[in-house]
Structure 1
Amino acid sequence: MERTLGRLTEQAWERFDDYPSLFFEGRWYHSQELAERARRVAGGLAGLGVRPGDRVVVMMANCPEVGITYQALWRAGAAITPVVFLVSHDELRHILVDSGARLVVTTSEVLLTVQLAADGLDVPIVVAGDAPEGTIPYADLERADELPLVDRAEDDMAALMYTGGTTGRAKGVMLTHAGLYRASQSSQQAGRVPGLTRALIPLPLSHSFGLLTTLVGMHTDEPNVAVLMRWFDAKEWIRLAAEHRIQRCPLVPAMIHMLLAEPDFGRTPLPDLRYVVSGAAPLAREALEEFERRVPGVQILEGYGMTETCATTAVNRPGDRRIGSVGKPLPGYTVTIRDDEGRALPPGEDGEICIASDSLMLGYWHAEDATAAAMSDGELRSGDIGHLDEDGFLYIVDRKKDLIIRGGFNVFPRDVEDVLAEHPEVTMAGVVGRPDPKSGEEVVAFVSLVPGATVTPAELVEWTRERIGRIKYPREIHVVDSVPVTRVFKTDRKRLREMLKELPSPTS
């Protein structure tokens, strides 16, 4: 069977009769309506000169047109280049130039950023929503004739996704049709529970986790309903989850923390919610336990993946969960823990997580050196530190590049963050290292607190010292209104380091 995303979407459209499959901002969208629109948009894109293999940037706030555009581009044989709508115009300009984008599709909310980024470039702009002069209305694409499915090879590029770029310019990750097909199919099979068909989607569909979630829904064997949020808002999430009797939902840890900080969370009954899949960043055990305490009957299933692995690698399954782990590797993925010399380590020993799979990226776009540094002998070196237990469950310790070396001892920021998160007045913590002439690096934490908190930084220092010992505990703790996160809701350590530089150095 041909494993291309154009074929997958075609099969998904044909599998079920017409039914209301998507709810967005007060309106139901039917499955065949969405399919017909995608076929016409594919024709409209071809009319604008989009050809097989072309890259098309899709930078849109969440809306039905995001999925329609993805499916239309795969139908036309092009590769999608999704961009999270929170990027700056400078970041977007780099992506437009580096990818050689044929055109960009956007929504009116972020049009100004797109216009600034595309200034002086020969990149047409298609706008879903109010389209000013000089841009192309999305509705014009839908007036075209339906385009027949363009055949592509399984190893052709289906998506060129740019990494976050928190340590430099973002790199394009080349993902194939077959790789995304297999990854989403394995994810669907691992998480399948018959009858759980109602999902709430708050993730940016332009993030790899959001894209994977979209593709997983195409493998289902029973009609599924998705409630889509334009962007995440804790109060609105609670309202939609209750109103639509949501049964499952993907979240990232920052969203979970925002929900826990919302007074109504736990007061509004959510009796139908059974599973939350958490990914993209580590989740503190205390947050997991508090979420499950407030929503009886729900289980949080942590998973792990990278853009370079088609957004997944391992996940806890319904009925096969180990709290604290990110689950077992999915079918088609092999995880090996290696030391700095590349030797495989036994269960229980920490080392770099290395991943082998047919769903690995082809490489980084126009970056052979970076590809060679990340991949060798069919394995991807993740840059993450972790270990496997005797039963094959994977545990993430931290990012290798975020490691703090204090007095010759390794300190993983997550260890410190997890302890700080245990404090009842701390909502979120972020930890980085400060260069120090005596110890090499010193551990510094930034924390946000619950409303009305009275705990002092000195008391939090003592709290951590009592729990993780004299090597790891932070010598500095700074209270901030909110711990910064990246546009995909990961702790923004780059911004924390910038904030640290703005603070006076402590006296010795």
Structure 2
Amino acid sequence: MTEQTLGRLAEESWTRFDDHDSMFYEDVWHRSHALAERARRMCGGFAEAGIRPGDRVVVMMANSPEVPLIYQALWAAGAVVTPVVFLVAPDELRHILRDSEATAIVTSPELVENVRAADVKIPIYVDTGELERADERGAVARDPGDLAALMYTGGTTGKAKGVMLSHHGLWHVAKDVFEMSHQEGKNRALLPVPLSHAYGLIVTVASLHATEPQQAVLMRWFEPKAFLRLAAEQRVQYGTVVPTMLQLLLAEPLEEHPLPDLAFLTCGAAPLGRDVLEEFERRMPGTQILEGYGLTETSVVTTFNPPGRRKAGSVGLPLGGYSITVRDNEGEAMEIGDVGEICVSGDSLMLGYWGEQEADPEGTALVGKELRTGDIGCVDDDGYLYIVDRKKDLIIRGGFNVFPRDVEDALNRHPEVVLSGVVGRPEPRVGEEVVAFVQLKEGAAVTAEELIEWARDRVGRVKYPREVRFVDSVPVTSVLKLDRKALRTMLD
């Protein structure tokens, strides 16, 4: 397929296949041609409302069939999609609207008050009814190098910064993702990830590259019991998850929910503990977990484990347009197998940070044509990448390096633990002390002292947590990644 802008890609996808059941949402199947007509009308509606090529339009909605249609319509109109997770606080929304200089915002009725609380001075479109009354329109001309999406990142560690992603970058990464993950005949997917998150965005674009009719079973948001029920009732064949979703699913009686049709789940957005992967596959035989890795700054995905060539514990091989170098603290390339900072180069990297900012709050930086990710890992002899942890999350206790993920993986293996989160607490004697926040299963009787002993037996006398605090729920972000910023505030 020849490279196109996302607007042209969407337009071409609308008529690629005969009419079919395309999206299942809240007990209703939506037909593909009806959805395509709605997208064309939305495109006309945006144009009639004065949205021009290059305008940033914020989309703040929970998952619904309208969200991917809005994205496609905006790209067809030449606008820049600016997704915002619907759980965002008014102050953060106000910052994004002002920083992006957005010209409009699309939201849903239940979120209108939140939007108004942000003191919005631009047009607010509630749902899409008004937009869909317009005449249908096709895609306008844009250049592949133009800005397609402005994704705000860094919300867990400070004020969010806009990552500028081009049509070219998203087009190529999504195409590679589809080609590496697609298995002929497996076309019904369960989608619980927020479409407003970078992971959800790339899933949306990847679907536009489909070579056979696809069917999406869309969840408004993730809930373990609903996930298992929908997967069984709709006989889904693959799906998208993040590690915390798998951890929460393991707290369910999986043996009571056989899913013989579920061939694989792609997993990303955060590191996945190998024990979690192995336990899930043991309890859900026939379903394989395919891990990937990426950042918003790499147009979302950088590496992926191809079906049939997966290495458990690895996040896979680089996509076609990317190369990976592991560097030491001085920036020198390291040998195969050595652990250092993961650096990515390729022509699908972000255009930069909005407003010409050089680094995001996570410590990620574009140095020349290479992205310093702030992630720690290594590459094996076959080119597979392994993630250790985030550089900024490293705890230094008594001069020894403690990666929180190692401790979390050990605690999460305990049969009475649902989820754990580990951070460092300043401590004059040793520099930082290892503190674990733990969410237990209902009816659990394990004590903090027993969990400390459990961890010490598995990670050794240097890394184990000296303090365990029980919480009703471990704080996570909108895409269910551990929210370490929130954990650190809980130390006080």
The question of whether the paired residues in 2 share the 8 Å contact of 1:22 and 1:225 is answered with: yes
Match of 2:323 among 334, 339, 343: 334
Per-residue deviation, 1:2: 4.0
Match of 1:301 among 290, 293, 304: 290
The question of whether the paired residues in 1 share the 8 Å contact of 2:57 and 2:82 is answered with: yes
Aligned to 2:132: 142
Per-residue deviation, 1:434: 0.6
Per-residue deviation, 1:266: 2.7
SS in 2 for 1:500: coil
Show CA shifts across 1:58-80 (max 9, x none). Answer: 00111111011101100100000
1:218 and 2:208 matched: yes
Per-residue deviation, 1:29: 1.0
Aligned to 1:101: 102
The question of whether the paired residues in 1 share the 8 Å contact of 2:358 and 2:366 is answered with: no
The 1-side partners of 2:412 and 2:139 are apart by 50
SS in 2 for 1:370: coil
SS in 2 for 1:236: helix
SS in 2 for 1:355: strand
Counterpart amino acid of 1:304? Y
Aligned to 2:355: 366
The 1-side partners of 2:193 and 2:263 are apart by 18
Question: Aligned pair in 2 of structure 1 residues 488, 350: CA closer, same or farther (>3 Å)?
Answer: same
Match of 2:255 among 248, 262, 266: 266
Aligned to 2:229: 239
SS in 2 for 1:266: helix
Q: How does 1:36-435 map to 2 (within 5 A)?
A: 36-117=37-118, 119=119, 121-128=120-127, 138-263=128-253, 265-370=254-359, 374-435=365-426
Match of 1:481 among 452, 472, 477: 472
Percent of aligned pairs with the same residue? 61
Q: Which runs of 5+ in 2 are unaligned?
A: none
The 1-side partners of 2:22 and 2:478 are apart by 28
The 2-side partners of 1:308 and 1:489 are apart by 19
SS in 2 for 1:15: coil
Q: TM-score, normalised by structure 1?
A: 0.94
The question of whether the paired residues in 2 share the 8 Å contact of 1:353 and 1:387 is answered with: yes
Show CA shifts across 1:220-242 (max 9, x none). Answer: 11111111111111111111101
Aligned length: 489
SS in 2 for 1:155: coil
The 2-side partners of 1:269 and 1:2 are apart by 41
Counterpart amino acid of 2:489? E
Aligned to 2:36: 35
The 2-side partners of 1:266 and 1:499 are apart by 36
The question of whether the paired residues in 1 share the 8 Å contact of 2:328 and 2:341 is answered with: yes
Per-residue deviation, 1:373: 7.1
Counterpart amino acid of 2:294? G
SS in 2 for 1:448: strand
Counterpart amino acid of 1:63? S
Show CA shifts across 1:448-497 (max 9, x none). Answer: 11222121111111111122222111111111111111122111111111
The question of whether the paired residues in 2 share the 8 Å contact of 1:250 and 1:276 is answered with: yes
Aligned to 1:134: none
The question of whether the paired residues in 2 share the 8 Å contact of 1:201 and 1:226 is answered with: yes
Show CA shifts across 1:225-271 (max 9, x none). Answer: 111111111111111101110000000111112211223x3312211
Show CA shifts across 1:390-436 (max 9, x none). Answer: 11111100000111111111111001111111211111110000111
The 2-side partners of 1:278 and 1:266 are apart by 21
Counterpart amino acid of 1:447? V
Q: TM-score, normalised by structure 2?
A: 0.97
Runs of at least 4 residues off by over 3 Å: none
Show CA shifts across 1:129-148 (max 9, x none). Answer: xxxxxxxxx21211111123
The question of whether the paired residues in 1 share the 8 Å contact of 2:41 and 2:132 is answered with: yes
Computed over aligned residues only, the root mean square deviation of the Cα atoms, in angstroms, reads 1.3
Q: Which runs of 5+ in 1 are unaligned?
A: 129-137, 502-508
The 1-side partners of 2:32 and 2:419 are apart by 40
The question of whether the paired residues in 2 share the 8 Å contact of 1:156 and 1:176 is answered with: yes
Aligned to 1:131: none
The 1-side partners of 2:166 and 2:271 are apart by 27
SS in 2 for 1:465: helix
Counterpart amino acid of 1:161? M
Q: How does 1:455-466 map to 2 (within 5 A)?
A: 455-466=446-457
The question of whether the paired residues in 1 share the 8 Å contact of 2:364 and 2:371 is answered with: no
The 1-side partners of 2:303 and 2:172 are apart by 14
The question of whether the paired residues in 2 share the 8 Å contact of 1:61 and 1:109 is answered with: no
The 2-side partners of 1:373 and 1:62 are apart by 28
Show CA shifts across 1:272-312 (max 9, x none). Answer: 00000110011122221221122110000111011111110
The question of whether the paired residues in 2 share the 8 Å contact of 1:434 and 1:443 is answered with: yes
The question of whether the paired residues in 1 share the 8 Å contact of 2:389 and 2:403 is answered with: yes
Show CA shifts across 1:355-391 (max 9, x none). Answer: 0111110010003333797111310000000001111
Q: Which segment drifts farther, 72-81 or 373-382?
A: 373-382
Counterpart amino acid of 1:159? A
SS in 2 for 1:368: coil
Aligned to 1:506: none
SS in 1 for 2:309: coil
The 2-side partners of 1:426 and 1:63 are apart by 32
